[in-house]
Structure 1
Amino acid sequence: MKSYNKIFSFILILSLLFGCDNFLEIEPLDRVDGSSFFSDDDELLIGVNGVYASQRLVFSRADGGQSLIYRLFEERSDNAGADHTDQGERVETDLFKEGTGNLPISGLWEAMWNTVNLANKVIISGTTAEGDQALVSRIVGEAKFIRASLYFYMVNAWGALPIRTEPTEDFTATILPRSSVDDVYSLIVQDLTDAAAALPNSYAGGSGNEVGRVTNGAAMTLLGKVQLQNGNLPAAEAALRTVLGRYSLLPDFGSIYSGAGNENTAESIFEISFNAGNQTAWAVPQQFVPISIAAPLGTNGSGRNVLSSYPTQDLADSFDPADLRIPHTFGTATEGNYLGLYISKFIQPGATNGSDINFVMLRYADVLLMLAEAIGESTEAYDLINEVRTRAGLPDIDASSPGTFMEKVMNERRWEFAFELHRWIDLLRLPDAEVFSIMETQLESQQLNKFGMTVDISLTLDNLLYPIPQNEIDISDGVVEQNPGY
């Protein structure tokens, strides 16, 4: 059986490889019996391709046309609003009213843990895999990076988590108590440290269509982000300084998400790859754009009277009118079913079967602004911030500019990374009372102005974490404990 599995697998992989110009376009085999696979470097490579594919599903999994990860990490913030006339559970996360049975939350939980489990299989198999050991080490590093990235999103969404580092082979192995947030961060840091040691700086010039895989720069950038989020500023600074100067800002902000043919640029550090021609399109962005805007551009859009996700007026008003990023971030629809602000960042003219645009998870502008935050107010920090502002066509700022240093950093991050899944995680680095004030003010304004409703929004510490899905609590027979307030 083992021989037949391997022969069938390799024949199918070879057929998929024919005509592909990017390894991430391949739909890998992630359902081959683990007991008879991943025994050598070739099979392990197929396995990690499956991990990349599963990671892509995390970023594209949708409910009601809207990405689940988007609901939890962008709509949750003051950047984006949801259609509050939609089904209740699709609106709950925007209003901080979610319950333990919320399907978007449980759907994202499931997708993330599935990817972690696939990564665990590759990592464990790497300890015994035969073949080119340098390649095996690299593959394990790729899987550790992806596992760390998922744990990072999860710890910021749910707090304490079960730590699963081995593949689940039977039902009872899924039942683990939650480990502390500190322990989860320790795992993430170790994974990224291991990954950085095993990964190359670049795949350029390789023969295996490997551009787009995780690099050392990606591991160190994410390590810096993790340490910043965890409050370890010296460690964040040390990690980010290793990346400084290895990438560069693109001259034109609008080209970052300009579509096929402009992926993995000099600014890009790690992207989630999509390809409509290979049935791995990113369809979610087409729900951000009203049909009145999309149709003249030859692409698909939403015919809803209220978009499932849209920019808040607060975000739009916060921009300097001279900011060159505005047309590549949001626009205003003045005719058709939907009137008002829409997200313009991911529009791809001519895309009718979903988008070929990759989602840029890590890019060099993030390194510059995170390093500035880690260093703290100083001439060097303002120089880093002003690199980003210069591209946006804005004048330099310094210590004499209005606002505290943290307010200035957070504003720059908000404008640069709007709708790129940074904002809610960024807000969590602020004092709790400040987060409550920002979100209560924005939600009350959004309800009154857009829907003519008023909702009593009064947030507490419990609202900063999502509930653990009730299914997880029930299956564990109480071994997994619920977050406070749910």
Structure 2
Amino acid sequence: MKNILKNTPKLLLAAILVCGTTSCDDFLDLKPQDTRTEDNFYRTEADAREALTGIYDVLQWNTVTGYHPTPMLLDIASDDAYAGGGSRTDAPNIIEVDMHNILTTNLEIHGLWRKHFFGISRANLLLSKMENIEASDAVKARLTAEAKFLRAHFYLDLVRFYENVPLVLEPLVEASEFSQPQAAPKAVYDQIAKDLEEAIPDLPETTLAASQGRATKWAAKALLAKAFLFYNGVYGQNLETGSITVDAPRTLQHLQDIITQSGHGLLPNYADIFTPAGEFSVESVWEIGYSDENPWFDWGFVHGGEGNIQPQMQGPRLQDPAAEQYQSGWSFAPATQSLYNAFEENDPRREATLLLETELEGSIDRGYQHTGYFSQKYTTANAYKPTAGQQELNWGNNYRAIRYADVLLMAAELAVKSGGGTPQDWLDMVRDRVDLPSKPATLDNIYQERRVELALEGQRYWDLLRRGINVADQAISSTQIGPFYTGDPIDYNIDFKPATNGFFPIPQSEIDLSGRLLQQNSGY
């Protein structure tokens, strides 16, 4: 991350913060890069901060196995984007996600699994060592809270992707421990809520800019709201931490705390959010940072750098970049006609969200599933052009994971569902920012506002699933052909598979490594 990750000694962290639950072989054979080992490392405050940085580092990883930027894959799985790329054979694993015909041997899906368990493993290890760290109680409480926030962060994405995952809360030391059974989804979600509720009191009441990109109280409250909305929507239950029930009123109170106490707000100009100047802005409640400050060249270990591969993947394939305001990309995740049509005609968010083929000065190479619409939010804009290293590997576009507008819309939704609050005011704030008239704060209008406000930010797929499989099926399986579409119409025919309930398959290699202790998800 910018500010806190650029000086991380990554080879050391790779050696001492070893592995996920079942696939540990990659790191177990590494020799320590200096005299520090796990036995003598976790002693000082500096050691603990370095280990914490190693957990944050995993948030950046999008290439553990294959290319799997989380927001991009979620958009492709939704009705907002197709797979795209250069051709039908360019990235078959990503096309499987688009077509909802995912093989259990899909490498991108395996990469996602491994990434999240790497992060969980690192968090577990630091938490297990915290008691012996030589630091003040206040420092240890803050570092513990951040580690719990990060563990909850990794588990929330993991359980939303795969549903049936092992729940591991301690370091796995012996080989006999590496195969862990799947937990009930409720146990995982309840642990997420427990970690966040325990972290909230010890996290700072600051903006991300003031915390230098580290977790804040407000980020934890917002992440807990996301966990509740998804779990309650899919399973119809509250979250239980043992001593606290996280229900709709408690979740709404967390969101109202952000609205009234955090100092966060909306940027006046929507398009400014996704510029370098908009990073860690007052609107970002949680953001994952990237940077070109550690120039990287290694295609064999892409996530060893600090760059964000998603802009490179999503940029248009320009024939003459010198004539454009962009560098040439790989044309993955072209946006759908359905998303274009979702915006009101006078909504400035459409122009800030979508880069149209007709806006480019020169010619482009039209790739697979070409629609004429590219992401404007995470793309190869010259403003983000890397200053050093292999250009494709060093894009510094931060990912705005939770924005204040998202908080307002979550609060409006909960208030309509459960009563309390001022849902009309919160919806109006989002629309006022882009000079659109008020609309009644109904659930349908709030869901529609979420789609256009948060478009191509990796939120749509979760929103569809939590509203019900029928809603997801109707949205994703309904395909529109637009005026710029190029290629065989069958390439745009997406067929959602309700039998999977929208979850990804457990990687077959993990099932095999577990001695078939892990069971495959339904529909695969």
TM over 0.5: yes
State the 1:449 CA deviation. Answer: 5.5
Question: In the alignment, residue 414 of structure 2 is paired with which amino acid?
Answer: A
CA displacement 1:249-295 (0-9 Å, x = unmatched): 01111111111x43211111121111112231223213222143854
CA displacement 1:11-50 (0-9 Å, x = unmatched): xxxxxxxxx9822322344134322212232210110011
Q: Which residue pairs with 2:157 in the alignment?
A: 153
Please, which of 382, 390, 415 is the counterpart of residue 349 of structure 1? 382
State the 1:457 CA deviation. Answer: 2.5
Q: Verify the 8 A CA contact 1:288 1:301 in the aligned structure 2.
A: no
Q: Which residue pairs with 2:308 in the alignment?
A: 282
Please, which of 354, 362, 381 is the counterpart of residue 402 of structure 2? 362
CA distance in 1, matches of 2:227, 2:146: 17
Question: In the alignment, residue 265 of structure 1 is paired with which amino acid?
Answer: S
What is the TM-score when the length of structure 2 is the normalising length? 0.80
Q: Which residue pairs with 2:499 in the alignment?
A: 461
Q: Which residue pairs with 2:235 in the alignment?
A: none
Q: Verify the 8 A CA contact 2:2 2:291 in the aligned structure 1.
A: no
Give the alignment of 1:49-448 within 5 angstroms: 49-57=53-61, 60-61=62-63, 66-83=67-84, 85-86=88-89, 87-202=91-206, 210-231=211-232, 232-245=247-260, 246=262, 247-259=264-276, 261-279=277-295, 280-292=306-318, 295-297=322-324, 299-302=326-329, 307-334=331-358, 335-338=363-366, 340-347=372-379, 348-350=381-383, 351-352=385-386, 353=391, 354-376=394-416, 380-398=422-440, 405-442=442-479
Change in Cα spacing, 1:310 to 1:56, as seen in structure 2 (3 Å) is: same
Change in Cα spacing, 1:102 to 1:196, as seen in structure 2 (3 Å) is: same
CA displacement 1:297-319 (0-9 Å, x = unmatched): 454222x5xx2211111000111
* Secondary structure of residue in 2 paired with 1:236: helix
Q: Verify the 8 A CA contact 2:207 2:285 in the aligned structure 1.
A: no
Identity %: 28
CA distance in 1, matches of 2:197, 2:212: 21
Q: Verify the 8 A CA contact 2:69 2:309 in the aligned structure 1.
A: no
CA distance in 1, matches of 2:212, 2:135: 22
State the 1:128 CA deviation. Answer: 2.5
Question: In the alignment, residue 179 of structure 1 is paired with which amino acid?
Answer: A
Question: In the alignment, residue 291 of structure 2 is paired with which amino acid?
Answer: N
Comparing 375-384 with 68-77, greater Cα deviation is found at 375-384
* Secondary structure of residue in 1 paired with 2:161: helix
CA distance in 2, matches of 1:148, 1:226: 9
State the 1:52 CA deviation. Answer: 0.8
Q: Which residue pairs with 2:299 in the alignment?
A: none
Q: Verify the 8 A CA contact 1:224 1:235 in the aligned structure 2.
A: no
Comparing 172-181 with 98-107, greater Cα deviation is found at 172-181
Change in Cα spacing, 1:295 to 1:152, as seen in structure 2 (3 Å) is: farther
CA distance in 1, matches of 2:476, 2:59: 29
State the 1:120 CA deviation. Answer: 0.8
Comparing 234-243 with 374-383, greater Cα deviation is found at 374-383
Q: Verify the 8 A CA contact 1:96 1:463 in the aligned structure 2.
A: no
Question: In the alignment, residue 283 of structure 1 is paired with which amino acid?
Answer: I
Change in Cα spacing, 1:204 to 1:257, as seen in structure 2 (3 Å) is: closer
CA distance in 2, matches of 1:327, 1:274: 24
Q: Verify the 8 A CA contact 1:272 1:358 in the aligned structure 2.
A: yes
State the 1:130 CA deviation. Answer: 2.0
CA distance in 1, matches of 2:429, 2:146: 30
CA displacement 1:45-101 (0-9 Å, x = unmatched): 1100111111211xx32777x544245322100111112713432210110101110
* Secondary structure of residue in 2 paired with 1:23: coil
Question: In the alignment, residue 311 of structure 2 is paired with which amino acid?
Answer: P
Q: Verify the 8 A CA contact 1:159 1:181 in the aligned structure 2.
A: yes
CA distance in 1, matches of 2:354, 2:265: 24
Q: Verify the 8 A CA contact 1:62 1:68 in the aligned structure 2.
A: no
Change in Cα spacing, 1:115 to 1:295, as seen in structure 2 (3 Å) is: farther
Comparing 377-386 with 161-170, greater Cα deviation is found at 377-386
CA distance in 2, matches of 1:249, 1:296: 33
State the 1:355 CA deviation. Answer: 2.4
- Structure 1 alignment gaps of length 5 or more: 1-19, 400-404
Q: Which residue pairs with 1:7 in the alignment?
A: none
- Structure 2 alignment gaps of length 5 or more: 17-36, 233-246, 296-305
Q: Which residue pairs with 1:24 in the alignment?
A: 5
Question: In the alignment, residue 24 of structure 1 is paired with which amino acid?
Answer: L
Q: Which residue pairs with 2:515 in the alignment?
A: 477
CA distance in 2, matches of 1:480, 1:313: 39
Question: In the alignment, residue 265 of structure 2 is paired with which amino acid?
Answer: S
* Secondary structure of residue in 1 paired with 2:334: strand
Q: Verify the 8 A CA contact 1:227 1:235 in the aligned structure 2.
A: no
CA distance in 1, matches of 2:7, 2:515: 40
Question: In the alignment, residue 270 of structure 1 is paired with which amino acid?
Answer: W
State the 1:431 CA deviation. Answer: 2.1
CA distance in 2, matches of 1:148, 1:21: 22
Q: Verify the 8 A CA contact 2:68 2:112 in the aligned structure 1.
A: no
Change in Cα spacing, 1:69 to 1:458, as seen in structure 2 (3 Å) is: closer
Question: In the alignment, residue 451 of structure 1 is paired with which amino acid?
Answer: G
* Secondary structure of residue in 1 paired with 2:134: coil
State the 1:175 CA deviation. Answer: 1.0
CA distance in 1, matches of 2:411, 2:473: 26
State the 1:190 CA deviation. Answer: 0.5
Query: Aligned residue pairs: how many?
Result: 450
* Secondary structure of residue in 1 paired with 2:131: coil
Q: Verify the 8 A CA contact 1:68 1:104 in the aligned structure 2.
A: no
CA displacement 1:322-354 (0-9 Å, x = unmatched): 111122100211432236111111343240433
Q: Verify the 8 A CA contact 2:100 2:494 in the aligned structure 1.
A: no
Change in Cα spacing, 1:368 to 1:356, as seen in structure 2 (3 Å) is: same
CA distance in 2, matches of 1:294, 1:311: 21
What is the TM-score when the length of structure 1 is the normalising length? 0.86
